[in-house]
């Protein structure tokens, strides 16, 4: 549970001009304020190695239980590797989450908690809308929201794979 952690880190992709990155950062900031947590954001290239190096530096200095929200599963893989090399206990000393749920979340050990976007449905809907626009010429432009799915795994919960 997030309230068990004192510090909530955010590992973001250095693409703040992108809407997906701004919305993830906004959500993080709102939770930090709501729960009166210590906020610390770090922005970097979307790389597991860079995230691992940064996490090693941070985790070796922090003694309190921390949660790390990563803007991608790729970054979360790096944070998980760093935590394992420092013998951190998932769900007790550290909790790590990612975003995307494409495949990296399932090949890590422990498996990574992630926020999965319904990419197949998004692609199918995009193709249908494009075909409609081509066939009907001038079809109305609009926005469609696809709800994400939180998949809880071993990087945040004791005893999960």
Residue 82: per-residue pLDDT: 97
Determine the pLDDT at residue 12.
82
Please check whether the domain covering 2-118+147-151 is classified as CATH 3.40.50.2300. Answer: yes
Q: Which two tokens stand for residue 98?
A: 């990612």
Identify the DSSP state of 4. Answer: G
Nearest-angstrom CA–CA distance, 53 and 86? 12
99 phi and psi angles, rounded to 5 deg: -135, 145
CA distance 121 to 4: 35
* CA distances, 74 to each of 92, 106, 136, 148 (Å): 22, 11, 40, 18
pLDDT digit string (tens) for 120-130? 898 998 898 88
pLDDT in tens, the chain (161 residues): 444 666 778 888 887 777 878 888 888 889 888 888 878 889 899 999 999 999 999 999 988 888 898 989 999 999 999 999 999 999 889 999 998 887 766 677 898 999 998 888 989 988 988 888 888 876 677 788 889 898 999 998 865 55
The pLDDT, as a whole number, for residue 4 is: 65
CB 99 within 8 A of CB 115: yes
For residue 43, the 8-state DSSP code is E
> Which whole-number Å values give the CA distances from 89 to 35, 96, 128, 140, 151, in the listed order?
23, 11, 46, 52, 19
Contact call for residues 110 and 77 (beta carbons, < 8 A): no
Q: How many CB atoms lie within 10 A of CB 26?
A: 10
A 10 A CB-CB count for 134 gives 9
């Amino acid at each position: 549970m997030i309230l068990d952690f004192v510090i909530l880190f955010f590992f973001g992709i250095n693409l703040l001009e992108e809407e997906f990155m701004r919305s993830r950062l906004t959500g993080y900031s709102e939770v930090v304020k709501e729960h009166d947590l210590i906020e610390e954001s770090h922005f970097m290239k979307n790389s597991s190695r860079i995230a691992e190096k940064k996490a090693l530096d941070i985790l070796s200095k922090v003694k309190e239980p921390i949660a790390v929200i990563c803007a991608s599963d790729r970054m979360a893989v790096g944070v998980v590797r760093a935590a394992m090399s420092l013998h951190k206990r998932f769900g007790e000393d550290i909790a790590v989450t990612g975003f995307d749920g494409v495949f990296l979340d399932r090949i890590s050990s422990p498996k990574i908690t992630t926020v999965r976007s319904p990419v197949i449905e998004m692609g199918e809907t995009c193709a249908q809308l494009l075909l409609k626009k081509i066939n009907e010429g001038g079809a109305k432009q609009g926005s469609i929201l696809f709800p994400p799915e939180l998949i809880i795994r071993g990087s945040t919960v004791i005893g999960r794979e």
